[in-house]
Structure 1
Amino acid sequence: MKVLESKEEILRKINQMMDEKVGWAKFKNHTVTKESIQRFGKAIDPANPLWYDEEYAASTRWNGIIAFPTFEITLFSGVLGDLPVPREWGFQTMVWIGEDWKMWRPVKPGDRIKVWQRRPQIIEFEPEEGENFVFGLVDCDCDYINEHDELVSSVKVYVERVYHKLPVYPPPIKEYGYTRDELLYLAKLMRGEKVRGDKILYWEDVKVGDRLPPVVLGPTTMVDNAIAFLFSHNVDAILSTRSFFLNSIKEEDFGEEILQDPLTGLYYIRGGPAGRHWSNRSAQLEGEPMAFLFGVLSKFTLLRTITNWMGDDGFIKEFKWRHMVRSYVGDALISSGIVIDKWIENEEYLVKIKLWLENLRGYITEAAIAIVSLFSKNKGLKKKIGE
Structure 2
Amino acid sequence: MVTNASDATATDDKPEAVGETKSEAATSEGRARRPGGTITDEGIARLRARIGVPEPHTAPPQYRRPNVDAFRNVARCYGDDNPLWCDEDYAAASSWGGPIAPPPLVGGDTLVGEDEVTRIPDHLRDLMKGDPLRGVHAFYSAASREWWAPLRPGLRVFRRNALVGVHDKVSEFAGRAVHEWGGQVFMDETGTPLSGQYRNMVRTERRKARERGKYTKIEPQRYTDEQIAEIEAAYDAEVSARRGGDPRYWEDVEVGDQVGPMVKGPLRVTDMVCWHVGMGMGLYGVAPLRLALTNRRRIPSFYYRDDLNIPDVQQRVHWDPELARRAGNPTTYDYGRMRETWLIHLCTDWMGDDAWLWKLSCEFRKFNYVGDTQWLRGTVVQKYLATGGRPAVDLELSATNQRGELTTPGTATILLPSRERGAVSLPDPPGGTGNLRNTLDAIVEQFR
Normalization by structure 1: what TM-score? 0.82
1:222 is matched with which residue? 269
2:122 is matched with which residue? none
1:47-196 matches, cutoff 5 A: 47-72=81-106, 73=108, 74-75=111-112, 83-85=131-133, 92-124=136-168, 134-138=177-181, 140-165=182-207, 168=211, 169=213, 171-193=216-238, 194-196=241-243
Q: State the 1:325 CA deviation.
A: 0.3
Q: State the 1:165 CA deviation.
A: 3.7
Instruction: Indicate which of 189, 196, 206 corresponds to 2:253.
Output: 206
Q: How many Å separate the matches in 2 of 1:124 and 1:77?
A: 32
**Mapped contact 2:92–2:99 kept (Cα < 8 A):** yes
Q: State the 1:47 CA deviation.
A: 3.2
Q: State the 1:98 CA deviation.
A: 1.6
| Paired AA for residue 67 in structure 1 | A
CA RMSD of aligned residues (A): 3.4
| Paired AA for residue 180 in structure 1 | D
Q: How many Å separate the matches in 2 of 1:319 and 1:360?
A: 24
Give the structure with higher Rg (CA). 1
Q: State the 1:117 CA deviation.
A: 2.6
Q: State the 1:256 CA deviation.
A: 5.9
Q: State the 1:268 CA deviation.
A: 7.0
2:287 is matched with which residue? 239
Equivalent position SS for 1:292: coil
| Paired AA for residue 35 in structure 1 | D
**Mapped contact 1:13–1:84 kept (Cα < 8 A):** yes
**Mapped contact 1:336–1:356 kept (Cα < 8 A):** yes
**Mapped contact 2:145–2:197 kept (Cα < 8 A):** yes
Structure-2 change in CA distance of 1:108 and 1:288 (3 Å): same
Structure-2 change in CA distance of 1:298 and 1:136 (3 Å): same
Q: How many Å separate the matches in 2 of 1:379 and 1:273?
A: 52
Which is further off, 37-46 or 210-219?
Answer: 37-46
| Paired AA for residue 285 in structure 2 | A
**Mapped contact 2:216–2:325 kept (Cα < 8 A):** no
Instruction: Give the structure with the larger strand fraction.
Output: 1
Q: How many Å separate the matches in 2 of 1:325 and 1:45?
A: 21
Residues 123-175 of structure 1: per-residue CA shift (max 9 Å, x gap): 12669xxx86632211x212111223221111111111212346544521112
| Paired AA for residue 208 in structure 1 | V
1:381 is matched with which residue? 423
- Find out whether 1:333 has 2:358 as its counterpart: no
Structure-2 change in CA distance of 1:348 and 1:93 (3 Å): same
**Mapped contact 1:337–1:355 kept (Cα < 8 A):** yes
Equivalent position SS for 1:274: helix
| Paired AA for residue 189 in structure 2 | E
Q: How many Å separate the matches in 2 of 1:337 and 1:118?
A: 32
Normalization by structure 2: what TM-score? 0.72
Structure-2 change in CA distance of 1:359 and 1:56 (3 Å): same
Q: State the 1:13 CA deviation.
A: 5.2
Equivalent position SS for 1:75: coil
Q: How many Å separate the matches in 2 of 1:6 and 1:352?
A: 37
**Mapped contact 2:163–2:180 kept (Cα < 8 A):** no
1:252 is matched with which residue? none
| Paired AA for residue 294 in structure 1 | Y
Runs of 5+ unmatched residues, structure 1: 250-254, 261-265
Equivalent position SS for 2:158: strand
| Paired AA for residue 36 in structure 1 | A
Equivalent position SS for 2:205: strand
2:30 is matched with which residue? none
Residues 273-294 of structure 1: per-residue CA shift (max 9 Å, x gap): 3111011111111111110111
Instruction: Indicate which of 179, 182, 197 corresponds to 2:244.
Output: 197
**How many residues end up aligned between the 2 structures?**
364
